């Protein structure tokens, strides 16, 4: 007789994830956070990236704010997508998140996108 916990062939990954979420509050919270990030990415990819990277590193908004020399409120507004940050603020946050901030100039030349990137900081 097969173990009821074994993974049957053809089982959808989403079904397995639903089962894990039902049995594990921490997994449920992580799953919910990534769902929020996916939705935010549609409207504000910078805010979504900052939130996702902070989450990956296990940092709180307050920890990022303190390390970047800004306020918790500023980080919260950036991650919610309700505030457009300055390049200087993004540069400081990128350092905290162990990333390099790049800016890009883009133009369309005969249907081909041309991009020029430059590091900030």
pLDDT per position as a tens digit, 80-94: 888 888 899 999 999
Residue 60 lies in a domain: yes
Residue 35 lies in a domain: no
Residue 13 lies in a domain: no
What pLDDT is attached to residue 37?
72
**CATH code for the domain of 54:** 1.10.260.40
Residue 3, pLDDT above cutoff 50:
no
Higher pLDDT, 9 or 97: 97
Question: How many folded domains does the chain comprise?
Answer: 1
Least reliable range by pLDDT among 26-35, 58-67, 80-89, 95-104: 26-35
pTM: 0.63
Structural domain range at position 92? 44-120
Residue 112 lies in a domain: yes
Rounded CA separation 106/112 (Å): 10
Residue 82 lies in a domain: yes
What is the residue whose two structure tokens read 């989450």?
Answer: 55
Rounded CA separation 30/9 (Å): 26
């Amino acid at each position: 007789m097969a173990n009821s916990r074994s993974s049957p062939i053809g089982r959808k990954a989403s079904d397995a994830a639903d089962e894990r979420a039902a049995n594990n509050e921490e997994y449920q919270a992580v799953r919910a956070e990534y769902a929020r990030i996916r939705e935010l990415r549609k409207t504000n990819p910078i805010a979504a990236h900052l939130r996702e990277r902070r989450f990956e590193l296990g940092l709180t908004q307050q920890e990022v704010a303190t390390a970047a020399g800004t306020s918790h409120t500023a980080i919260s507004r950036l991650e919610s997508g309700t505030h457009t940050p300055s390049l200087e603020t993004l540069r400081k946050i990128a350092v905290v998140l162990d990333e390099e901030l790049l800016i890009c100039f883009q133009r369309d030349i005969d249907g081909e996108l041309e991009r020029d990137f430059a590091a900030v900081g």
